[in-house]
Homo-oligomer: A and B are copies of this chain.
Amino acid sequence: MTFELQSPLDMHIHLREGAMLKTVAPLSAGTFAGGVVMPNLVPPVDSLARLQAYREEVLAGVGDAVFEPYMTLFFRNYTREELEAARDHVIGIKLYPAGVTTNSEAGVAVLEEAEPTMAIMEELSIPLLVHGESGGFVMDREHEFLSVYEHIATRFPQLTIIMEHITTASALALLDRFEKLHATVTLHHLLVTLDDVAGGLLDPHLFCKPIPKRPEDRSALLAAALAAHPRLMFGSDSAPHPVDQKECCGCAAGVFTAPIAVQVLVELFEAHDRLDRLQDFISGNAQRIYGLHPPEKTVLLEKADFTVPARYGDVVPIKAGQTLSWSLSGS
């Protein structure tokens, strides 16, 4: 039995830099035709020159594989000239509230001060991608941030807004209220809840931001993904950290899913008898929402056991050592 996907897209991906990029970029390019590359490097990608240099590094890391890196700028207050110059080189600008996640220290502290830039982005049709968490209690952070999305969507009704890596039923419900509001969801938030992170033994490899939430949140997200909710796109938020920063005493947030995301999604959608919706979830919706024309790339999978490696380089992937029921054809 085989299954074919056309030009799968990962609409939220951390490719890092240097040696880590060389490890992980080919893994994303192995199964995806393109991906939205996050800009939270140190220092952040917040100029066109830096973005273009980073794009070259990504392309070099990808090598011969067909893979389009959709680049993002790190949100700061940009001038109109900067935004006009960047417009054709970015898929969007990623806003991080200051300090809420990995390498977000340079993020936005006072959202009101970001509004002039948002106004120009709306005018120039540059999408706003947002890590939407407040500084509150960890289980409440996304829910508390929803009022910010409401505010931005109301104030800038023509601005395309992407709620990145949503984790709650309430974020999902907000999609119905604003026409230009969209969301990505990760693989791991379709699979796990806080129970999997901290309900049995503590699993640092499932620790991430936003933290996985309650069973009813996961159920709502899964149902929406399986239905290929038209405002929802797949974005892995695959976030590699070296193993010594995960199995330690203050471990970093991020789940590494890139190399097996497609295979696990096929397994998941098949288990729910919704394989027919996967193409839209993993590519069609993103193409429509962003107006993308990704490179043509056929990914062929076959129903054959595949045991997930313990590590890729020094990164431990999700489901390390477990056996999946689908594998890449020829792998």
Residues on A close to B: CB < 8 A?
137-139, 193-195, 197-199, 201-205, 207, 211, 214-215, 246-253, 316
Report Cα–Cα, A207/B203, bound state, in Å: 11
Instruction: Return the contact of A137 from the options B215, B246, B248, B253 (Cβ within 8 A).
Output: B215
Q: How many copies does the complex hold?
A: 2
CB distance from A212 to the nearest CB of B (A): 10
CA distance A70 to B191 in the complex (A): 44
B residues less than 8 Å from A203 (CB atoms): 249-250
Which of B198, B205, B214, B316 contacts A197, CB < 8 Å? B198
Assembly CA distance A203 to B253 (angstroms): 11
**A134 shortest CB reach to chain B, Å:** 12
Complex: A137 Cα to B203 Cα, angstroms: 16
The listed residue (B139, B205, B211, B252) touching A249 by CB distance below 8 A is B205
On whether the beta carbons of B201 and A138 are closer than 8 Å, the reply is no
CA distance A202 to B198 in the complex (A): 10
Chain A contact residues, majority secondary structure: loop
Q: Is the CB of B138 within 8 A of A204?
A: no
Contacting pair B247 A249 (CB below 8 A)? yes
B207 near A202: Cβ-Cβ < 8 Å: yes
How far in angstroms is the closest Cβ of chain B from A143?
A: 13
A248 engages B247 (CB within 8 Å): yes
A193 to B211, CA, bound (A): 14
A195 to B100, CA, bound (A): 12
The answer for the CA separation of A112 and B252 in the assembled complex, in Å, is: 44
Query: Is there an interface contact between B202 and A137, defined as CB atoms closer than 8 Å?
Result: no
Which residues of B are found within 8 Å of A139, using beta-carbon distances?
139, 194, 214
Determine how close the nearest CB of chain B comes to the CB of A310; give it in whole angstroms.
Answer: 10
Task: Report the minimal beta-carbon distance from A70 to chain B, rounded to whole angstroms.
Answer: 30
Instruction: Determine the distance from Cα of A205 to Cα of B251 in the docked complex, in whole angstroms.
Output: 11
A-B pairs with beta carbons under 8 Å apart, 10 shown: A137-B193, A198-B207, A198-B211, A201-B250, A201-B253, A202-B202, A202-B250, A204-B251, A205-B249, A247-B247
**Contact A194 B249, CB 8 Å, known A202-B202, A202-B207:** no
Query: Quick one: closest B residue to A200, CB to CB?
Result: B250
Residue of A195, A252, A316 contacting most chain B CB atoms (<10 Å) = A195
Which residues of chain B are within 8 angstroms of A205 by Cβ–Cβ distance?
249
In the complex, residue of chain B having the shortest beta-carbon distance to the beta carbon of A212: B198
In the complex formed, the residue of B with least CB distance to A252 is: B201
List of B residues within 8 angstroms of A198 by Cβ? 138, 197-198, 207, 211
What residues of chain B lie closer than 8 Å to A193, measured between beta carbons? 137
Given A201-B251, A204-B251, 20 more pairs with CB closer than 8 A? A137-B194, A137-B195, A137-B214, A137-B215, A138-B195, A138-B199, A139-B139, A197-B198, A199-B211, A201-B253, A202-B202, A202-B207, A202-B250, A202-B253, A203-B249, A203-B250, A204-B249, A205-B249, A246-B249, A247-B249
Considering the chains assembled together, what is the distance between the CA atoms of A193 and B136 in angstroms? 12
Chain B residues positioned under 8 Å from A249 (CB to CB): 203-205, 246-247, 316
* A294 → chain B closest CB, angstroms: 35
* Bound-complex Cα distance A327 to B199 (A): 35
Report the separation of the CA atoms of residues A68 and B215 in the bound assembly, to the nearest whole angstrom.
44
